[in-house]
Amino acid sequence: MPGTAGSPTPAPPSPAPPLLTPTPDARAAADAIARASGRSVHEVTLVLGSGWSEVVAGLADPGTAVTIPVSELPGFVPPSVAGHRGTVTSCLVGGVPMLAVAGRTHLYEGLGTDPVVHPAHVAAAVGSGVLVFTNAAGGVRADLAVGELVLISDHLNLTGRSPLTGPTFVDLVDAYSARLRAAAADALEAATGSRPPAGVYAAMPGPQYETPAEVRMLRTLGADVVGMSTVPETVAARGLGVEVVAVSLVTNLAAGVTGAPLDHAEVLAAGTAGAGRLTAALRALVPSVARA
């Protein structure tokens, strides 16, 4: 029996091999990033969502940042949505080699799932064991406030889409790593003075915002925040064998919560207002999850 004298403790099971491999475009992008930055491996890849792009300038350790327009890298599509820079930055954050993708492609842009999940494939190709997603989200749960950070613990894929084809049965029981989420919560609490709640993220297809009736439905289903990204990329990342931690910034309260109209300018304003706090949060989070 385990723990008895003379009986070795059985080794933990080896992780299953990844079901997916990085695409040729992702490998080509990784090669181009390595040539430009001089870094062949990036331990963490960070994808910055709406309202988060402005934190890039303050994230990097001084003198370590190399920025490349996504238009110069295979597989990336320059973002068409306001609030997304369209750059990739290789840098050190607290000494940890990190790749930051400032700008994502969304399903509602009508380009299919491949460009949406391309950053996840690039993360695997540059050797990242951890992929950090950020996004702007509407607060569905009544106790959430604008400007609050929420660590995603699980998701509801209500987009009707998957980046997977064929018999690729990706296990999503621990889609958002509990171990990394605990490390991230500690880091964010130390950086911001408050411990972020965990919550379920509902991914909707967009680009329209949800109706009040849809928000009531989301509450019934157990959602805490709602947005239009993150889930396809998480599915791909887990298929690629990359661990995921994801953070939502509550940029507005979802339809029907306050009765006020919703618009994208409100989303971007919330990100701009909190840029300093978001930068401090990510500077603490990245080294913490890299070393967890």
Active site residues: 50, 84, 106, 108-109, 136, 228-229, 252, 264
The number of CA neighbours under 13 Å toward the Cβ of 253 is 11
Q: Report long-range pairs for 67-75 (Cβ below 8 Å, ≥24 apart).
A: 68/32, 68/33, 68/36, 70/101, 70/103, 72/32, 73/29, 73/32, 73/33, 74/25, 74/26, 74/28, 74/29, 74/32, 75/23, 75/25, 75/26, 75/28, 75/29, 75/114, 75/115, 75/118, 75/121, 75/122
In a 3-state reduction of DSSP, which class is residue 40? coil
Torsion sign over Cα 219, 225, 227, 229: negative
CA distance 130 to 133: 10
CB atoms within 10 A of CB 72: 12
CA distance 31 to 73: 10
CA distance 99 to 185: 21
CB atoms within 10 A of CB 198: 16
